A = this chain, B = another copy of it.
Amino acid sequence: MATVIDGRQLATELNQATAKRTAKLATRGITPGIVVILVGDDPASLIYTRNKHRRAEKMGIRSVLEKLPADVDQATVMAAIDRYNQDDTIDAILVQEPLPAHLDGLAITNAIRPDKDIDGLHPINLGKLYANQPGHYPVACTPRGVMTILRHYNVELAGKNATLVGRSILVGKPLAAMLDNANATTTVVNRYTPNLSKVTRQADILVVAAGSPHLITREDVKPGAVVIDVGINRLPSGKLTGDVDFNDVRDIASLITPVPGGVGPMTIASLMAQTVDLAEWRQHGQE
């Protein structure tokens, strides 16, 4: 029977550590600041943004919400990015996905100052991660949270087969880079992979971020594998569930994340921790 990863407990511990860091910064008169740019009225995005806001304020991070109408034009969004790029009270800029289709999301991402790029999506930050460059740069928060989980549970990575189902730029790709940097043998599958099960059954560490409820069942998992489920899917019943059939898989995995309560809480906690990182790195750069 697998050990079930307690993402909420880990997130609580990380949040406490982050709050201590902001308290220490406060003694020097520094308040880390994050702006969330939200375009339109997508209800899920609104809830998610409000949660981030509350969480940030709770731990001594100033949180600004820049709400733009659904029909905002590209130039207005770019001007907002530029304003926060130059705003010294803002350390982290987050553009809430999804953006309306009429906006050029790539141009928006590429316009964010790399040292305020809290999602690690700017190509220069992606490239540094990919090249395993030393030094300080932000990375995507979900993969960062997953790596914290793996470290916390002492999961050996060097020489292990790490397989990622999903290759989004927010999860699969940066996590593949992090696992490769940690010397795992890393495989990235995609929707063209003909025999998914054959590939996933070889994984010592299986990360699933496909956005497909219960895509992975026990037949797809190597006995003793570490299973990390990044999927968050809402079933017709309203219940949240992952990309992994948790009840089916939990007795053959060695370690598994539940949904909810696994990767999710660590994503937002990692976002807060990295906001403080960005503030400290910028501060350090200015001293």
Contact = CB atoms under 8 A, between A and B. Distances in A.
Interface string A86-108: 00000000000000000000100
Interface of A: 106, 121-128, 130-131, 133-134, 158-159, 167, 169, 173, 177, 180, 183-190, 192-194, 199
The 4 closest A-B pairs by CB, nearest first: A123-B127, A127-B127, A126-B127, A159-B192
B194 A159 contact: yes
Contact of A185 (B158, B184, B185, B188): B188
Interface core residue of A125, A130, A159, A193 (most chain B CB under 10 Å): A130
Give the oligomeric copy count. Answer: 2
Given A123-B131, A169-B131, A185 B192 contact: yes
Contacts of A106: 133-134
Given A126-B130, A127-B127, A186-B187, 17 more contacts: A123-B123, A123-B124, A123-B128, A123-B130, A123-B131, A125-B127, A126-B131, A127-B130, A130-B177, A159-B192, A159-B193, A184-B192, A185-B188, A185-B192, A186-B188, A187-B187, A187-B188
A250 to B, nearest CB: 27
Contacts of A180: 167, 188, 190
Contacts of A167: 180
23 contacts: A121-B131, A122-B127, A123-B123, A123-B125, A123-B126, A123-B127, A123-B128, A123-B133, A126-B126, A126-B127, A126-B131, A127-B130, A130-B130, A131-B169, A159-B192, A159-B193, A167-B180, A185-B187, A185-B188, A185-B189, A185-B190, A185-B193, A185-B199
Contacts of A134: 106
A131 B173 contact: yes
A122 B106 CA distance: 19
